[in-house]
Structure 1
């Protein structure tokens, strides 16, 4: 039975909620419907600078099949109870497994964890949402299939469906994950099952090889939205190259960032460097080395530039640390390597090869990511300050050197004003550049909680005023970020929501979308 302390759905009484829970148990089984508060705790463990109560679920249901997902949605549609679907629930720094609003039923899809198909000739896979990157990696290793995939960092406990639906990125040439997805199965709010692209055709065998099908392409509306529940996803895998040559180029000064981007952008656009180029700041590298903040700074305020300089010297970390790789034959990589050496020499960088990097935790995990090997190396960031607080800020700009210095200076000023360190990296796509900042703070300190919220809020609005849109954000700031994209886009999203989910039961508020 529901208790008075439970987070009841917004428009449901205790009696109505209990009736819906009874119906959910009939669908998924007693063991797969959670209402007891101690068992709900993992679904309310957030890292955002807001009280846990704001994102407390009312219950959790864990279906095992598409048919159960359909039946669950029918129950909740009838009761008008909101549901928040998750895949592995490891979206750390962006909201984790907690629902976007208090009182939503979390639909945890982790039991739907089958690798349905891998075609070694066409290099495709079809997976369910509960499949993790580690599970897929182990499968390919067990079957001795020379295929790679792209994964985010940290990735071993996360999964490709959830990451792609949130439009995450990775570090191989297939690192733009949504671009390299092909075909979705989506359960709509009314229980209907849609297969996108060629999957809409009966007996189609081209679902995972041709993205478009006929007519409007629908896949995109099910990413960063709440228009349906993705229950299957096709993805393209990368053939293992004959020669893989990862490298790091370290630069001594923060001001070097402008020439780094301008020198490497042409190589990305020309596909000389086929994967995303990561340009990590000293304080992104240091915690993964590992180095702790307390070893170099104590007391309030942001760490000083002098302390950061000491970290660089003590641990041989660059002001900027550039990660990329060459993929191809030995002959093509030998030729392209000369270009890399010339760029490094011309810009004042020091190349660190895979052989030279052995034993370095920070470099090893990066090199593994660039060949699609999942790991948890980047969790070292959370040891930098301690206290369990992390919220990611991720604006996008053009891949131009002038943009990097401008963004870094703006971010450092706002972070420093609120007493936080600049822990950031730039990721150069083809023509775009993601600027990812991890705002780390102590969630056990109420003053730091307030400061972190105010800091993030100022970052969102200050960057928006300069024309920098955030490409991904946490559930706590979904509404604020959505508002920066203007009223027309939001009205179109509202119309789609009304058409596909008239009862507004699918994760209302996710990405700022609701009726």
Structure 2
């Protein structure tokens, strides 16, 4: 028998789901409840190396108010319907807008897109889930508010609430996004509305300026979790500095990575360089400028080192390309620039490139935009390297030590090459940590290559864990596997919280490996 739905929630009959759908239509309006194939199919797109069918939703519903979100969770509890919430659904490489499991209803909050408040003096903002970085940037520009944003690289279509809830990072001094978050409004599984921090105090005016409130601090509990649905978020914005000076330093040898990190770390910890420094590999930078592997070779497998060197020469890139920026008054920037120059001179290697030298060329231009809070989509060029629409982000974290980064790079490249794939990676230097971001790119239209990519990703997780490395984010296909890395006690605590707050297990079952 053919169903009217592309999928059904696990364990639910079509007639039971029909009853829930009718209630959704009554609460939200029929136009906000989508079950037709052509309406649901855009929410099935995944870039992971697993079948689309594993992440096909049963329906998609859209809400426009907090009250409607409350109505949704009430219906979900009545009918035991699992709901997977997205804001903009643009976390490509981590799962996109598709649900974590087949048959879950997608609750799309993109229509909740109000910029509720921006305070130009206190440098704060309060927004809804559907607000994109581009929308917020345009609002600041149109209203001549001299504040700048921090965002992930493919920034224009992503949003601050969703990125922060998944603990994403950016490229400005405010690049640790959850650190700059201040105040959440969360719809709980039972329909209650919780405001974290100072938000629960009637008439309070400090919700976006003081994080802690009174008693346990709960904000972090809702990130990368399934304990509630965030409907508002406050965060801090950085004042535009009088002077912004972007820099690039190119290093010619792959083996330079250890020296680069040792050079950068003291400058970051002392805040001479106040932003998250990127150390991007040659293939990362070449592909963002629309270099295709087919331009150099059609041989299967990984790209030989000799070709990597040729790309490096042709595209005027380093084996490693370091991007940083200086912010402040002219006097501050001048002093810090000299400190950077002196440290580089002492290192004895690396070509320093300024904005005046780079001009309007890529990738310097888009990197400078990221570091100055100007949204763009340049980094989507990564997907042209191999083509075929396959992408999975592998993101282990380590100390900001040269030896650790060299070890991670060598291990990752060895595993990727073993599976016939290329190392396309970058390091992002935080204050003391190092995010190692690798895009496992593959041709998803090839069944054989897709199988290799899946095996490769699994091996990356296994082998890195053996060395004491774990990832800080992962795509929805590998959530359960990564949760295991963090140990039984942590998982038991998470399950106890889940059972207490969401006894019917309706909110995003399986997210981050958390179930009742």
TM category, shorter? over 0.9
Alignment of 1:356-505 (within 5 A): 356-505=357-506
Partners of 2:254 and 2:319 within 8 A in 1 = yes
What are the within-5 Å matches in structure 2 for residues 222-301 of structure 1? 222-301=222-301
Gaps of 5+ in 2: none
Pairwise CA RMSD: 1.0
Q: Given that residues 63 and 111 in structure 2 are in contact (C-alpha distance below 8 angstroms), is that contact kept between their aligned partners in structure 1?
A: yes
Does the CA-based 8 Å contact 2:274-2:325 persist in structure 1? yes
Note the alpha carbon deviations across 1:377-427, whole angstroms, 9 max, x for none. 100100111000000000000000001110000001100000000000000
Deviation at 1:291, TM superposition (A): 1.3
| TM-score, with structure 1 as normaliser | 0.99
What are the superposed Cα offsets for residues 326-383 of structure 1, whole Å, 9 maximum, x if unpaired? Answer: 0010001101101111222333010111122223221111100001111101001001
The 8 Å contact of residues 243 and 327 in structure 1, kept in 2 or not, is answered as: yes
Q: Is the 8 A contact 2:278 2:323 kept in 1?
A: yes
Contact 2:4-2:36 within 8 A present in 1 as well: no
With the length of structure 2 as denominator, give the TM-score of the two structures. Answer: 0.99
Distance 2:337 2:436 in 1: 27
CA shift, 1:122, in A, is: 0.3
Stretches of structure 1 lacking an aligned partner (at least 5 in a row) = none
Q: 1:295, CA displacement in angstroms?
A: 1.3
- Contact 2:5 2:58 (C-alpha < 8 Å) held by counterparts: no
Rounded to whole Å, the distance in 1 between the matches of 2:205 and 2:3 is: 50
Query: What is the alpha-carbon distance in structure 2 between the residues aligned to residue 4 and residue 512 of structure 1?
Result: 30
Q: Equivalent residue for 2:126?
A: 126
Name the structure 2 match of 1:319: 319
The CA distance in 2 between the partners of 1:163 and 1:86, in whole Å, is: 11
Give distance in 2, aligned partners of 1:378 and 1:289.
Answer: 8
* Secondary structure at the counterpart of residue 363 of structure 2: helix
Map Cα deviations across residues 92-111 of structure 1 (whole Å, 9 max, x no partner).
00000000000000000000
SS at the partner of 2:358? coil
Question: What is the distance in 1 between the residues matched to 2:345 and 2:474?
Answer: 37
- Rounded to whole Å, the distance in 2 between the matches of 1:377 and 1:439 is 18
Conserved 8 A contact 1:113-1:131: yes
Q: 2:356 — aligned with what?
A: 355
CA contact (8 A) 2:172 2:373 kept: yes
Asked if the contact 1:361–1:377 (Cα under 8 Å) also holds between the matched residues in 2, the reply is no
Deviation readout 1:189-242 (Å, 9 max, x if unpaired): 110000000001111100000000000000001000000000000010101101
| Deviation, structure 1 residue 162 | 0.3
Residue 360 and residue 290 in structure 1: after superposition, are their counterparts in 2 closer, same or farther (change >3 A)? farther
CA contact (8 A) 2:249 2:353 kept: yes
Task: Give the distance between the partners of 1:296 and 1:511, measured in 2 at CA.
Answer: 39
Q: Confirm or deny: 8 A CA contact 2:175 2:275 kept in the other structure.
A: yes
Shift >6 Å, 4+ stretches: none
What SS does the aligned partner of 1:381 have? helix
